[in-house]
Amino acid sequence: PPLLELRGVTRSYRTGGWFAPRQERQVLRGVDLTVHEGGCTGVVGPSGAGKSTLCRIALGLEQPDGGMVRFMGRAWGRDVRHGLGKDRRHIQVVFQNSVNAVNPRLTVERIIGEPLENFTTLNRRQRRARAGELLEQVHLSPVLLDRLPHRLSGGQLQRVCIARALAPRPRLILLDEALSSLDMLVQARVLDLLTELRRATGTAYLFVTHDVRLVPLFCDEAAVLTEGRVAPVDMRTSGQARA
């Protein structure tokens, strides 16, 4: 069954103002997208295609102008945050630039512990223990629990952010260019990790990237987003293109 469903989603922004002429820019022009329970859907698109807008709408951070978004069988209300309520824990995100996405003053323990604090009743000691388990799950040593983010490599920090996303046991993880700032070798390792986690936990993924090569490696269905519209990708053809 569909876990996340977007139907005919539209979104415009008003641009211009003081000096430039005012105009309405339609960023999403009727987007249909489905992520199935435990599945992985890829969205590929060039820069400016509307990927970030799509991510914000999927996360419930922003509201579409038209169309419908359903998550876990429920339509999101006008106030998306309110509509989602406690289901928020079930959709977590990993961003491209984790250095900017984490608080530089928080240790790895607190970074991973944040969603546990927000979404579970675990006490401090239990959160530390769980954070240590999650580090092991992303193949990092629990020794890192007391480190600050600037003492980690890019690949380590990205793994920490994956651990944080896994922490509240979400049904869906949104990967927003999550591999894009890593060099190719690290990218391949993190992709292997994600594949392994997908098998172990049954978590579904929405994998958003500009890099078309990554999609057949991880996703079981995919769409191309250009100029605010989506077209399905034939995974067999894109697999052949890679070979």
Q: Residue 201, SS3?
A: helix
Q: Which residue has the tokens 């339509």?
A: 75
* Lookup: tokens for 9: 């989603």
By C-alpha distance, which of 190, 174, 187 is closest to 71? 174
Main-chain dihedrals φ then ψ at residue 134, nearest 5 degrees: -65, -35
* Residue of the chain from 53, 92, 158, 238 that contacts ligand ADP (CB under 6 A): 53
Answer for the pair 61, 92: CB distance below 8 angstroms, yes or no.
no
* Residue of the chain from 61, 75, 200, 241 that contacts ligand ADP (CB under 6 A): 200
By CB under 6 A, is residue 180 in contact with ligand ADP? no
By C-alpha distance, which of 5, 29, 32 is closest to 232? 32
Q: Residue 151 or residue 227: which is nearer to ligand ADP going by CB?
A: 227
Q: Residue 63 or residue 201: which is nearer to ligand ADP going by CB?
A: 201
How does DSSP classify residue 21?
P
* Residue of the chain from 39, 42, 45, 113 that contacts ligand ADP (CB under 6 A): 45
d(C-alpha 190, C-alpha 15), whole Å: 38
By CB under 6 A, is residue 103 in contact with ligand ADP? no
Answer for the pair 70, 155: CB distance below 8 angstroms, yes or no.
no
Question: Looking at 116-124, 154-162, 188-196, 200-208, which segment touches ligand ADP (CB under 6 A)?
Answer: 200-208
Number of chain residues interacting with ligand ADP (CB under 6 A): 16
Q: Residue 166 or residue 230: which is nearer to ligand ADP going by CB?
A: 166
Question: Looking at 50-58, 68-76, 114-122, 184-192, which segment touches ligand ADP (CB under 6 A)?
Answer: 50-58
Indicate left, alpha or beta for 148 from its phi (over 0: left) and psi (-120 to 50: alpha).
beta
* Residue of the chain from 39, 51, 162, 178 that contacts ligand ADP (CB under 6 A): 51
CB of 183 to ligand ADP, least distance (A): 21
Site residues (vs ligand ADP, CB under 6 A):
13, 15, 27, 45, 47-53, 166, 169, 200-201, 203
